[in-house]
Each structure stands twice: as C-alpha cells, then as structure tokens.
C-alpha cells in the first residue's frame, strides 16, 4: 500500500508498562451524514462518543498509562488521522464526513492491520512488551468501490489468520439498522454475532471497550490459583482507587488473551464466585 | 538420647551465632545463653549480617526485642574485651560460612533458628557437614538434633528443619458465616471486644477492607479490618491467620494481621482480621515511568529510590529473622505514603512455618520455580532472594524487569527462562539489548559494586542474601549522599535510546 510507505511507527513514551495498542478504523463515508432516531447525524454521535471514550480511558490511571491509540478514517480513500501515540499524548479528535464517498472497508482494515504490525515491530526493537493488539472497525455500510470485494476478501483472510495465531483482536461494529452487514459479519472468526447499534448508542460499546481494556491492562493474575480454585486477588486493590500494575501476570500467559467479547454489548463477564462449603473443617476448632 | 545444650556446647571451641537464634529463643534460655557465653572460653563469631540485624531489631515496636538488641551489643563488648569476638566482615549470608567452616572443622558449633538462612544452608551442606548444630526449635528452646557421630546423624536435624508443607492445609472446605460486611456492622476479636466497621476502603478478589474504631492503646493509630468474601476462609487461611495472631509481629511499616475477627454472635465465626491501616499509593502505580515518579514526588532524587529499597528490605529481613517468607512480594504490595515511607501490605498470604504462600507472580518467580505449585511447596530463602533482587531492580529502573530486553519473548516468563540479562559488565559497552528509553543510563551511573552484584545474581545465578543486598544499597546511598558520583544522584537522565 503506497499510502503507508514512509509511515513511521508513531510516538512512544518511556514506560515499563506493557502497552495495549488499539487501532480504530472509522467510517466517514457519505452515508455517515444520515441521522439517527434523535435527529443527530451519525458522524456527530460518533465524534462525541469517541471523545467521551478517550476521556474515560484517560481518567483510568492504569489504562492511561498503557494504551496506545491510532485512528484511520475511510471514505473514498483511507486516511491516517492519528498515528500510534500514547493515549495521554493524543490531541483532540474530530472527524468530518467525506460527502458522496464510497466505503473502502477492506482497504481500511488492511491499513489498520499494517499500522499495528509496524507498531509491534517497533515495540520489539525497543524492548517494550505489549498485549495482543486491538482493531476496532466501525462502519455503517457494506464495502463499496471497484476493488472493494477483493480488498474485503483479503482483509477477512488476514484477520482470520492473525486471530488463529492469537495476534489480533478484532471488534467489528455495525452502525445503524438499515444494512445487513453481511461483509462486516465475516470479518472475525471468533465472534458469532456482530456488534450492532445505532450511532446514538455507541457509548455503551465504548464503555465495554473501556472495561475490557482495564481488564487486560490490570489483569493481575496469580501464577497458580489456590487449592480450591477460588479466584485470585483481582485488579481493584484494597487501597482506594489505585488499580494499576505494571507486573505481568500468570504463567499461562493469559495476559495476551483478549477479553471475552459478549454477544450483546455492555455485558461484562460475570466474576466467578467461589462455591461455599464447610466440608473437612471442624467448625468448633475455629469459632469462639 | 540428645544431650542438653549446655553439655553439648562444651564439645566445641568456637561458636557461630546467628541473630535468628537469640531473637527466637524463649527468654529463660536466652538469658542463660547470654550469660554463659562471656563466662566460658568459646570464640564467638557472627556473620556480617549481625550488625544490620541488630539495627533492624533495635527499631522494633516490641520493647523486649529492643532490649535484646541492647543486650547483644553488650555481649559483643564483653566478648571483645576478652578478644573472643569475631565478625565475618563482608560475609553476610550463611552459605560461605556453612560451607567453609562447617565442612572443615568439627570444633565449631553453629547456633541458629530452625527456620533461617542458616538452617537452609546446613540442609544443603548435608552429610559433608562436620560442625556442631544447636538449633532453636519451634518452642523457643535450644536442641542438639545432630548429636553423635553416626552415619545418619543428620536425620535428626532433617526431621526438625527440613519442613514440608503442612498437609492439613489441603483439607477442603471453608468456614461460612452469615455476615453482611458493610459500614456500621459489628465484629468481635477473640476476647469478645466489639469493633465497629467504618467506611469501606476497597475491595479485592479476596475480601473487603474497612476502617474501624479499634484503638487499644488510645494512640490514635488507624486500624483496618479485612473481611474475606464468603467461601474464602479455607483451612490454609484459617491456620495461617491463627499462627499470625499468635506470633504478634509488630514493626513500623508492616501491616501484620494482628487479631482475627469473628461474628458478634454467641458462637463467633471467623471473618477476617485486624491490621494497621496505611494510606498512600502502591508502588506498582508509582514505578511506572520516570516521568510519573517525577510528577508524584518532584523532590526525589536517585538516593530516595535507593532509600526506598533499603526501608523495604529492612522490613523483609525483620520477617525473615522469624522464619516468615513473603512469597508473593511485588511492587503492588508496597504502599508509599506522602512522605515516601513504605509499608508492606497483603502480608496475610506470607509463608509462616510450614504453612505455604499459595500464590506467586511471574515477574518474581525464578526460573526453577516456574512450574512449581506454590500451595504444595514451601518457599526458600534462596528463591526469596531472587525475588527481592527483581524488586530492587524494578524500583531503581522505574518498573522495568531485569530480564526485559530488546527482542525479548512474548511473556516475561519466557524472558526469565532465556535468562539474558542485557546490562553489560564494565568496560564492555554493548547496550544493544537494553530497552529503549534511557534505562541504560541508570545502569551506567550505578556504582560498580552494585552493578557487579546484579550481574552475579542475574547472570551467574548467585543467590545473594538479603543482608548483602542491604549492605550494598547502604553503600550506594552513602556514595550518593557524599556526592561521589558526579550527576549520579539524578532521578533520570533524559536521553532517547541507550
């Protein structure tokens, strides 16, 4: 892709923390000018939701330390709005619709993947550790354009391969009720259902992203669960709001696993509750 | 038939006295020993760590321990006057002493606590050992478990000191209590004193922590109560908490489980425990990057990081002297207050006697322990030493793991297995594997002995004793205070790349 020649790896901040690189591919094609149920153009809802999302991420200490963000927009062509940069160094983001443009969905996805690959290489060269990268693809339509289907096929193939190798986590998000999203629906081999909502409900999706990123970054697993399989000490410490840890977790390398993507957005994975029982313990020995 | 210790000692000319012995002895026998030593004719030697252990104990909360420190200083003076006192200067740990003296001579007797670095080294020395052994047992009394010359003389010693995980901790089950843990609820301690829970401070996977009104000495020290979640109080935790309550460890900067708490009912069911409260930031949220440390503590220089390490290690050493191994140490379990003073948290999972610490963290698990199931195997002073070295490195390098390197593996466990320590020896200037971001400069500005120590631990696999690391850090702090390294006291040197 000549678009990406000379692309640099983005900016870095020195930190011992394991990075979480997230690339957003956002649809700014002509159709995004259309309004949602409350009469607001989708692009405006997207801009505002995204802004709120970035704010929330930045206010979460652990995530603000670890997240690296890039943004690509697509409409007619694919454009890099923001190259990979630590989230607390990102300037204000606002995207404009490119009127009368088509949706080069496949090209955008491939562009995002390339950007993430470049970033990973840079991390390795610098000796920085990172979690499996995330690719968030947000569109309100089907791929359009002369090479659209070819590009989409290539994108799907690449994504499936990377998912199988545990090297990428994809969040395909379909915005709006009017389209089938049959192509977007092919994108991830791991998700059985697409994430779908209209643009005015994007906040719930972004909240889910925020919660998931917190889980990944702060996952503070013990190397071995204790004898009874009760969950280990978890992220939220016993001391107020400090939830951060730079320390990598379990020997099963589960820090590289993506969070479970729920079928409906907003559903957080339920915490495992220990099975209570008194079996072998003589109560009288321990009561007073 | 094992002889009484007074008779046993008469077989020997020299005694090596480890600090763990007098500290853990019951007072009557301790007094007897401390009177006997100056009165007799033995040469008394102590490891290099003795002086550090003295200083650490002199700062204890317990007045008996503080007087013991004074008493031991007096003993030293008494023996020096008679020219019968020797300090193994620079030899901090037990290993060298046990291996050189212990195998060479049968005129020397080692005196130590049954759970101590000394005990561990004697076990490792095995049948080669010829020295006499006088061990302080779990009851605080001296015993001579390896008396006699028989081929199996070490069997008695192993029975006493080669601990295995207490099988009772495997018992399934948890004690359940109907208790709604919230502000205003009441709990009781073992003597039925009532405590009211205050505001909840936080919640974790194990339980919730609340402020409370416990103030036994009227000193106004804030205590907190940890109430375990339902089903969490299994046999291992119960046994451990009970032991911890009995041990009554009290030291500034250690949040020890002091008292168990129960439901306020005729038959009180265990719920959790009381400990000193502390407020501040945990080190995992501080040691994240140089910029963050600078922002949080703008007055800090490198010496403050070094002092932080010293304070923390002193507390670890205090616990080690009683046979308590932390096991699950990590930056997150150290909380630093506004003044920069650290406290050790989450001590309730520490290893006490033969009750294991069932958890561990990848960053702090040495390669030979990566496959170990922690609830089935006891930690050693050896493995603890590796973890401490990682912790010190992380504090000095803003959270960076010593084995993190350019071109490293997917996980830190892989890096630890690879065992490539990317910081070069002096003279050899290859910094190509050091992670980007100016970390190489921290290494360059470190005093040579400090660098050598890290390399001996991470490259040569030597397990330096905690007191040796303490000694080295104290030297580092002094060097910085005296300004002996130009620019050396900077928190960070702002250069991109090595």
Most confident of A73-87, A179-193, B93-107: A73-87
The shortest CB-CB distance from A237 to any of B202, B238, B288 is to B202
Residues B12 and B33 placed together within one structural domain of the fold:
yes
> Is B464 inside any structural domain?
yes
Looking at the complex, does the CB of residue B32 fall below 8 Å from at least one CB of chain A? no
Q: What is the 3-state secondary structure (H, E, C) of chain B?
A: CCCCHHHHHCCCCEEEECCHHHHHCCHHHHHHHHHHHHHCCCEEEEECHHHHHHHHHHCCCCHHHHHHHHHHHHHHHHHHHCCCEEEECCCCCHHHHHHHHHHHCCCEEEEEECCCHHHHHHHHHHHHCCCEEEEECCCCCEECCCCCCCCCCHHHHHHHHCCCCCHHHHCCCECCCCCCCCCCCEEEECCCCEEEEEEEEEECCCEEEEEECCCCCCCCCCEEEEEECCCCCEHHHHHHHHHHHHHCCCCCCECCCCEEEEECCCCCCEEEEEEECCCCEEHHHHECEHHHHHHHCCCCCHHHHHHHHHHHHHHHHHHHHCCEECCCCCHHHEEECCCCCEEECCHHHCEECCECCCCCCHHHCCHHHCCCCHHHCCCCHHHHHHHHHHHHHHHHCCCCCCCCCCCCCCCHHHHHHHCCCCCCCCCCCCCCCCCCCCHHHHHHCCCHHHHHHHHHHHCCCCCCCHHHHHHHHHHHHHHHHCCCCCCCCCCCCCCCCC
Averaged pLDDT, B24-35: 96
Q: Is residue A85 part of a domain?
A: yes
> Cα(first)–Cα(last) distance of chain B, in Å?
65
Q: How many CB pairs under 8 A join A and B?
A: 228
Give the pLDDT score at B495: 62
Give the gap in angstroms from C-alpha A43 to the nearest C-alpha of chain B: 36
Decide if A236 and B203 are in contact by the 8 Å CB cutoff: yes
Q: What is the mean pLDDT of residues A234-240?
A: 26
Same-domain status, B328 and B409: yes
Q: What distance in Å separates the CA atoms of residue B236 and residue B357, rounded to the nearest whole number?
A: 9
Among B129, B162, B195, the domain boundary falls at B162
B66 pLDDT more than 90 = yes
| Residue B220: predicted pLDDT | 85
CB contact under 8 A, B234 and A226: yes
- The mean pLDDT of chain A is 78
Q: B171 — contact with chain A (CB < 8 Å)? A: yes
**How far does the CA of residue B270 sit from the closest CA of chain A (Å)?**
6
For B138-189, what is each residue's pLDDT tens digit?
Answer: 999 999 998 877 778 899 999 999 999 999 999 988 998 889 999 999 999 9
Which chain B residues have a beta carbon less than 8 Å from that of A236?
Answer: 202-204
Q: How many domains does chain A have?
A: 1
Residue of chain B with shortest Cα separation from A17: B288
Q: Which of B204, B370, B401 sits opposite A233 (nearest CB)?
A: B204
Search chain A and give the residue with CA nearest B199: A240
- Using the Cβ of B383 and the Cβ atoms of chain A, whether some distance falls under 8 Å is answered with no
Is B55 in the same domain as B29? yes
Q: Which residue of chain B comes nearest to A167, CA vs CA?
A: B410
**Residue B219 within any structural domain of the chain:** yes
Cβ contacts of B281 on chain A, cutoff 8 Å: 242
> Which CATH number do you get for residue A137?
3.40.50.410
Q: pLDDT band for position B223 (50/70/90)?
A: very high
- Kindly report the average pLDDT of chain B as a whole number: 93
Mutation for B interface: A133, A272, A287, most B CBs within 10 A: A287
- What is the per-residue pLDDT across B318-334, written as a single tens digit (0 to 9) for each? 999 999 999 999 999 99
| Residue B204 to residue A242, Cβ atoms within 8 A | no
Question: Are B203 and A230 a contacting pair at CB < 8 A?
Answer: no
Distance from CA of A233 to the nearest CA of B (A): 4
- Answer whether residue A236 is part of any domain: no
> How many domains is chain B partitioned into structurally?
3
CATH number at residue B45: 3.40.50.1010
Domain membership flag for residue B176: no
**For range B30-36, the mean pLDDT:** 96
Angle at B389 between CA B96 and CA B427, to 5 degrees: 85
Calculate how close chain B gets to A202, using CA atoms only, in Å.
30
Please state, as a whole number, how many other Cβ atoms lie within 10 Å of the Cβ of residue B118.
Answer: 30
> What confidence score (pLDDT) does residue A260 get?
44
Residue B498, in any domain of the structure: no
B443 touches chain A (CB under 8 A): no
Q: Do A124 and B406 touch (CB under 8 A)?
A: yes
Indicate if B222 and B137 belong to the same structural domain: no
B156 neighbors B2 (Cβ within 8 angstroms): yes
Q: Looking at the structure, tell me whether residues B115 and B260 fall in a common domain.
A: no
This complex has an ipTM of 0.81
Is A5 among the domain residues? Answer: no
B185 touching chain A per CB within 8 A: no
CATH number of the domain that residue B332 is part of: 1.10.510.10
B residues 2-31 closer than 8 Å to A (CB)? none
Range of the domain at A108: 15-217
**To which H or E segment does residue A139 belong?**
strand A134-139
Q: How far is A230 from chain B (nearest CA, A)?
A: 7
Does residue B323 lie within any of the structural domains? Answer: yes
**DSSP-based three-state secondary structure for A115:** helix
The least confident of A184-188, A217-221, B10-14, B468-472 is: A217-221
pLDDT at residue number A233: 33
The Cα B230–Cα A72 span in angstroms is 47
Does residue B21 share a domain with residue B150?
yes
Contact at CB, B285 and A13, closer than 8 angstroms: no
Average pLDDT over residues A7-25: 89
Q: Which of A222-236, B61-75, B342-356, B384-398 has the lowest mean pLDDT?
A: A222-236
CA–CA dist B273, A90 (Å, integer): 45
Q: How far is B249 from chain A (nearest CA, A)?
A: 21
Report the alpha-carbon distance of residue B481 to residue B475 in Å, rounded: 10
Nearest CA in chain A to B391: A247
- Asked if the Cβ–Cβ distance from B362 to A283 is below 8 Å, we say no
Looking at the structure, do residues B157 and B240 belong to the same domain, yes or no?
no
Burial classification of residue B428, based on how many CB atoms lie within 10 Å of its CB (0-12 exposed, 13-18 middle, 19 or more buried)? exposed
For the segment B101-124, the average pLDDT, to the nearest whole number, is: 94
Domain annotation covers residue A252? no
Q: How confident is the model at residue A278 (pLDDT cuts 50, 70, 90)?
A: low
Q: Chain centroid to CA A158: how far?
A: 17
Cβ <8 Å between A238 and B201: yes
Q: Is B488 part of a structural domain of the chain?
A: no
- Domain of B191, CATH number, reads 3.30.200.20
At residue A6 the predicted structure's pLDDT band, cuts being 50, 70 and 90, is: low
Residues B92 and B233 in one domain: no
Q: Which comes out higher in pLDDT, residue A4 or B429?
A: B429
Name the packing angle between helices B381-396 and B466-481 (round to 10°).
Answer: 20
Task: Provide the domain limits for residue B257.
Answer: 186-276
Whether residue B282 and residue A127 make contact (CB cut-off 8 A), yes or no, is no
B358 has a chain A CB within 8 A of its CB: yes
Look at residue B77 and tell me if it is in a domain.
yes
CA nearest A275 in B: which residue?
Answer: B231
Using a CB-CB cut-off of 8 Å, the residues of chain B touching A283 are 175, 269
Interface check B226 vs A, CB under 8 A: yes
Q: Is B245 on the interface with A (CB under 8 A)?
A: no
Same domain? For B98 and B193 the reply is no
Kindly list the residues from chain B whose CB atom is less than 8 angstroms away from the CB atom of residue A234. 204-205
The answer as to whether B244 is a domain residue is: yes
pLDDT higher than threshold 60 for residue A282:
yes
User: Out of B375, B399, B401, whose CB is closest to A227?
Assistant: B375
Of A251, A273, A288, the CB nearest to B262: A288
Q: Do A233 and B205 touch (CB under 8 A)?
A: yes
Residue A79, pLDDT above cutoff 50? yes
Dist. CA B112–CA B14, nearest whole Å: 14
Residue A16 has pLDDT above 90, yes or no: no
pLDDT band for position B273 (50/70/90)? very high
Residues B304, B441, single domain; the answer is yes
Among B276, B307, B330, identify where a domain stops.
B276
Same domain for B212 and B146 = no
Residues ≥6 apart with Cβ < 8 Å to B216: none
Decide which of B245, B276, B307 is a domain's last residue.
Answer: B276
Are A244 and B284 within 8 A, CB to CB? Answer: yes
**Average pLDDT of the segment spanning B108-133:** 94
Q: What's A65's DSSP letter? A: H
Q: Which residues of A touch B433 (CB under 8 A)?
A: 127
Q: How high is the pLDDT of residue A279?
A: 66
Q: Which two tokens stand for residue B112?
A: 């130590």
What tens digit of pLDDT does each residue of B442-493 get?
A: 999 999 999 999 999 999 999 999 999 999 999 999 999 999 998 899 999 8
Whether A8 is in a domain gets the answer no
């Amino acid at each position: 892709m000549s678009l990406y020649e000379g692309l640099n790896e983005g900016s870095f901040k020195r930190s011992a923390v394991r990075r979480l690189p997230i690339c957003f591919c956002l649809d700014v094609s002509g159709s995004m000018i259309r309004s949602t149920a409350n009469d607001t153009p989708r692009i405006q809802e997207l801009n505002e939701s995204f802004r709120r999302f970035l704010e929330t991420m930045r206010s979460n200490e652990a995530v603000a330390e670890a997240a690296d963000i890039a943004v690509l927009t697509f409409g007619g062509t694919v454009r890099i709005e923001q190259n990979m940069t630590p989230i607390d160094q990102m300037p204000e983001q606002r995207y404009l619709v490119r009127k009368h443009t088509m949706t080069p969905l496949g090209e955008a996805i491939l562009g995002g993947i390339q950007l993430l690959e470049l970033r990973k290489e840079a991390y390795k060269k610098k000796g920085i550790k990172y979690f499996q990268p995330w690719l968030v693809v947000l569109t309100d339509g089907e791929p359009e354009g002369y090479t659209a289907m070819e590009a989409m096929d290539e994108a799907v193939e690449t994504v499936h391969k990377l998912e199988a190798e545990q090297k990428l986590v994809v969040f395909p998000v379909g915005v709006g009720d009017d389209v089938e999203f049959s192509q977007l629906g092919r994108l991830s081999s791991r998700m059985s259902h697409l994430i779908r909502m209209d643009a005015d409900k994007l906040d719930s999706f972004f909240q889910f992203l925020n919660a998931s990123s917190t889980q990944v970054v702060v996952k503070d697993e013990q190397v071995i669960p204790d004898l009874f399989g009760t969950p280990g000490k978890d992220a939220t410490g016993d001391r107020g709001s400090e939830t951060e840890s730079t320390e990598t977790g379990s020997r099963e390398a589960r820090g590289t696993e993506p969070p479970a993507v729920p079928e409906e957005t907003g559903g957080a994975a339920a915490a495992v509750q220990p099975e209570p029982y008194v079996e072998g313990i003589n109560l009288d020995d321990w009561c007073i | 038939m094992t002889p009484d210790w007074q008779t046993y000692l008469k077989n020997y000319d020299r005694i090596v006295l480890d600090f763990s012995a007098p500290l853990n002895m019951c007072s009557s026998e301790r007094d007897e020993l401390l009177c006997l030593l100056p009165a007799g004719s033995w040469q008394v030697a102590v490891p290099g760590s003795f002086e550090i252990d003295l200083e650490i104990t002199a700062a204890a909360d317990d007045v008996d321990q503080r007087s013991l420190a004074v008493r031991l200083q007096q003993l030293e003076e008494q023996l020096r006057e008679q020219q019968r006192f020797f300090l193994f200067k620079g030899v901090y740990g037990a290993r060298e002493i046990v291996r050189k003296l212990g195998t060479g001579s049968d005129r020397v007797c080692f005196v130590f606590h049954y759970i101590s670095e000394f005990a561990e080294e004697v076990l490792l020395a095995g049948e080669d050992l010829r020295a006499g052994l006088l061990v302080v047992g779990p009851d605080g009394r001296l015993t001579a478990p390896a008396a006699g010359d028989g081929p199996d003389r070490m069997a008695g010693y192993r029975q006493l000191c080669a601990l295995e995980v207490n099988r009772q901790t495997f018992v399934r089950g948890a004690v359940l209590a109907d208790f709604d843990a919230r502000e205003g609820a009441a709990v009781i301690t073992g003597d039925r004193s009532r405590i009211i829970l205050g505001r909840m401070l936080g919640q974790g996977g194990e339980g919730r922590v609340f402020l409370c009104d416990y103030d036994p000495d009227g000193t106004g020290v804030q205590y907190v109560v940890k109430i375990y979640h339902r089903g969490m109080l299994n046999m291992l935790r119960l046994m451990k908490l009970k032991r911890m309550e009995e041990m009554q460890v009290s030291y500034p900067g250690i949040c020890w489980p002091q008292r168990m708490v129960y439901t306020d009912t005729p038959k009180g069911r265990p719920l959790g425990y009381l400990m000193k409260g502390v407020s501040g930031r945990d080190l995992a949220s501080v040691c994240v990057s140089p910029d963050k440390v600078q922002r949080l503590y703008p007055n800090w220089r490198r010496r403050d990081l070094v002092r932080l390490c010293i304070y923390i290690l002193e507390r670890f050493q205090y616990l080690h002297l009683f046979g308590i191994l932390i096991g699950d140490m990590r930056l997150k379990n150290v909380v630093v207050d506004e003044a920069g003073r650290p406290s050790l948290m989450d001590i309730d999972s520490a290893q006490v006697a033969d009750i294991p610490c069932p958890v561990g963290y990848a960053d702090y698990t040495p390669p030979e322990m990566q496959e170990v199931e922690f609830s089935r195997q006891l930690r050693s002073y050896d493995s603890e030493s590796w973890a401490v070295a990682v912790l010190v490195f992380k504090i000095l390098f803003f959270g960076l793991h010593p084995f993190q390197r350019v071109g490293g593996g997917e996980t830190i466990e892989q890096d630890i297995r690879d065992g490539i320590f990317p910081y070069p020896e002096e003279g050899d200037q290859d910094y190509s594997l050091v992670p980007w971001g100016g970390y190489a400069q921290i290494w360059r500005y470190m005093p040579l002995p400090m660098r050598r120590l890290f390399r001996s631990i991470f490259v040569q696999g030597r397990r330096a004793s905690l007191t040796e690391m303490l000694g080295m850090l104290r030297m580092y702090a002094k060097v910085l205070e005296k300004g002996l390294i130009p620019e050396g006291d900077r928190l960070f040197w702002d250069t991109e790349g090595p």
